[in-house]
Amino acid sequence: MSKSTPSNSGLRVNPEAFYEPLFDSAGEGILLVDQKGDIVLANSRMTQLFGYTKEEFRGSNVSILIPAEIRERHHGHMQTYFSNPHARSMGKGLNLAAERKDGTQFPVEISLNHFENNGESFAIALVTDITQRKKDHDKILELNELLERKVKERTEQLAESQRLYSAIARNFPEGTINVFDRDLNYIFVEGKELYKLGVTNEILMGSNYLDRLPKEVGDKVKTYLDEVFEGISCTFQVEINNNYYELDAVPLESSEGDIRQILVVEKNITKNKAVENEIRKALEKEKELNTLKSRFVSMASHEFRTPLGTILSSVSLIARYTSSEDQPKRDKHIDRIKHAINILTNILNDFLSLEKLEAGKVKVKSEPIDLNQFCESLINDFSGVLKNGQQIIFKCELDEMHAFLDKQMLSNAMLNLLTNASKYSDEDSTIWLTLIDSAEALMIEVKDEGIGIPEDEQHHLFERFFRAQNVTNIQGTGLGLNIVKKYVEIMGGSISFESQHGVGSVFRISFPKIG
């Protein structure tokens, strides 16, 4: 290939002949305009763009291509351009529009240049139809807008659902909902229990769960929660400062399938536990009452036999005493029947009192009591029950002694003690009823010189159905002292005793002085 320096003389092509097809085949519209704005030349692309023929273009003013509404302004711009002609794009940043012959408009981009010929100035305009570009641009803008709207909507939805979850979690009753990371640091925590403890979730976020727990509880919790990170859900209970909590822990799998967080629902179950305990206690009480009833039935079947036998034999004997001389014999049997019925009534009364006490149905009704008077009338009523030759000696340190107690309960308790004193003593023995007024307490003592209680059995006294070995031949249920103790205690007092086998016993009930 030979090298040649380009020079006009070396050109084999006439530039005129080269420029014209180039001018016509250009993809952009090219327009040559004189200083007056008259069109001097327009290429083929211009005819396609605007619908004018080249001939129509030639000599027409460029203003025919400008939309009517801005034609006026354009004229001014053109004048300015010719006063300082230079290469530039037109209406940069503006939405330029051009008008076709048929009056329709389309968006254009125009770049301007100028040249001088024979002392005359011309402007060359390169006109590009940017309809498609603008459409694409608008489409992009529209898509962007749509995308932005969607992002905004999703963000709002997310914020809304987050608010919703937080509200649900914040109102989670009697507990908290927690999310922990692998180190058991708080990632999320909400729940009513939190606010009850005076803690806010802001304080807890990022802190370590185990730091809030006592050491032993923390160790237990960690053992369980470590397993949850291995994918094993669990439920367990812990006790913190007399509060009971149930923890439900589940792994939270990430989209990649690994477990970096766990969800722990912590519920304060103290109230449920208390109810559970109440139910358990009630059940135990129920069982105890059932045992009591069955023991009573076995005791009663034994203890009822003697008085019922007495009644039966006395009734059949009375039937035989038909003459009026037999009246003393009849009276004797009537007395025996009365006594037997009394025994039966006492057994039943004891049992009913005990059942009422056990069921918590007995309420204390305190009232002022003149103890001297009270004891005297009690002794009076009781004298008929004493064995032959038995006497009660009543001693009171003061002329007047007053108490504020439940009369019925006190009377029941004292009658029980007096009955025992008489029952477990021989005929002609003495019983002492003494009232003692000490600085701290009011005391009532019942002392006898009866059979006493064997020392090795004394620790069973006051137990239900307890009867010492030395009383097997004497009627009794083993319920009396248990009832006495309960009556005395619900009135705020206490009972104690001293006894020596074969010598006698003393039972002392005492009520502390208040204030």
Closest approach of Cβ 485 to ligand ADP, in Å? Answer: 9
Torsion angle, CA of 166/170/172/176, rounded to 10 degrees?
100
C-beta of 337 vs 481, nearer to ligand ADP: 481
Q: Give the one residue of 481, 488, 491, 509 binding ligand ADP; rule: CB under 6 A.
A: 481
Which tokens in the block code for residue 5? 């320096």
Outline where DSSP puts E strands in 44-119. Answer: 88-89, 97-99, 105-117
Q: Give the one residue of 29, 175, 478, 493 binding ligand ADP; rule: CB under 6 A.
A: 478
Closest approach of Cβ 482 to ligand ADP, in Å? Answer: 6
Distance CA 469, CA 457 (A): 8
How would you class 487 by CB atoms within 10 Å of its CB: exposed for 0-12, middle for 13-18, buried for 19 or more? buried
Query: Which 8-state DSSP code applies to residue 90?
Result: T
Of the candidate spans 143-151, 153-161, 261-269, 469-477, the one that interacts with ligand ADP by CB under 6 A turns out to be: 469-477
Distance CA 46, CA 182 (A): 71
Of the candidate spans 100-108, 203-211, 370-378, 443-451, the one that interacts with ligand ADP by CB under 6 A turns out to be: 443-451
Closest CA to 46 of 121, 132, 114, 129: 129
Q: Give the one residue of 29, 307, 450, 493 binding ligand ADP; rule: CB under 6 A.
A: 450
Closest approach of Cβ 302 to ligand ADP, in Å? Answer: 12
Does the protein bind ligand ADP through residue 299 (CB under 6 A)?
Answer: no
C-beta of 99 vs 303, nearer to ligand ADP: 303
SS3 labels along 224-275: HHHHHCCCCCEEEEEEECCEEEEEEEEEEECCCCCEEEEEEEEEECHHHHHH
x/- mask, ligand ADP, residues 494-513, rule CB under 6 A, reads -----------x--------
Does the protein bind ligand ADP through residue 451 (CB under 6 A)?
Answer: yes
Residues whose CB falls within 8 Å of the CB of residue 508, separated by 6 or more in sequence, listed in order:
443, 444, 445, 495, 496, 497
* Positive or negative torsion for Cα 362, 366, 367, 372: positive
Closest CA to 410 of 381, 465, 371: 371
Distance CA 355, CA 478 (A): 14
Does the protein bind ligand ADP through residue 480 (CB under 6 A)?
Answer: yes
Does the protein bind ligand ADP through residue 467 (CB under 6 A)?
Answer: yes
* Region of 263 on the Ramachandran plot (φ > 0 left; ψ -120 to 50 alpha; else beta): beta
Q: Give the one residue of 42, 62, 177, 479 binding ligand ADP; rule: CB under 6 A.
A: 479
Closest approach of Cβ 493 to ligand ADP, in Å? Answer: 17
Closest CA to 262 of 244, 277, 275, 250: 250
Closest approach of Cβ 450 to ligand ADP, in Å? Answer: 5
The residues with which 395 forms a beta bridge, in sequence order, are 434
Binding residues among 379-408 for ligand ADP as defined by CB under 6 A: none
C-beta of 129 vs 445, nearer to ligand ADP: 445
Does the protein bind ligand ADP through residue 99 (CB under 6 A)?
Answer: no
Residues whose CB falls within 8 Å of the CB of residue 491, separated by 6 or more in sequence, listed in order:
364, 366, 405, 406, 409, 410, 511
Are 423 and 482 in contact by the 8 Å Cβ rule? The answer is no
Binding residues among 350-369 for ligand ADP as defined by CB under 6 A: none
SS3 labels along 141-170: HHHHHHHHHHHHHHHHHHHHHHHHHHHHHH
Q: Give the one residue of 40, 259, 344, 471 binding ligand ADP; rule: CB under 6 A.
A: 471
Does the protein bind ligand ADP through residue 39 (CB under 6 A)?
Answer: no
In the block, which residue shows the tokens 């802190």? 207
First to last CA, the chain: 135
Are 207 and 186 in contact by the 8 Å Cβ rule? The answer is yes
Of the candidate spans 39-47, 65-73, 367-375, 447-455, the one that interacts with ligand ADP by CB under 6 A turns out to be: 447-455
Closest approach of Cβ 515 to ligand ADP, in Å? Answer: 33
Q: Give the one residue of 44, 461, 490, 498 binding ligand ADP; rule: CB under 6 A.
A: 461
Of the candidate spans 54-62, 277-285, 323-331, 466-474, the one that interacts with ligand ADP by CB under 6 A turns out to be: 466-474
Binding residues among 405-424 for ligand ADP as defined by CB under 6 A: 420-421, 424
Number of residues that bind ligand ADP (CB under 6 A): 21
Closest approach of Cβ 405 to ligand ADP, in Å? Answer: 21
C-beta of 43 vs 505, nearer to ligand ADP: 505
Does the protein bind ligand ADP through residue 175 (CB under 6 A)?
Answer: no
Does the protein bind ligand ADP through residue 448 (CB under 6 A)?
Answer: yes
The residues with which 122 forms a beta bridge, in sequence order, are 34, 115
Closest approach of Cβ 500 to ligand ADP, in Å? Answer: 10
Of the candidate spans 66-74, 263-271, 364-372, 450-458, the one that interacts with ligand ADP by CB under 6 A turns out to be: 450-458
Binding site for ligand ADP (CB under 6 A): 420-421, 424, 448, 450-453, 461, 466-468, 471, 476-482, 505
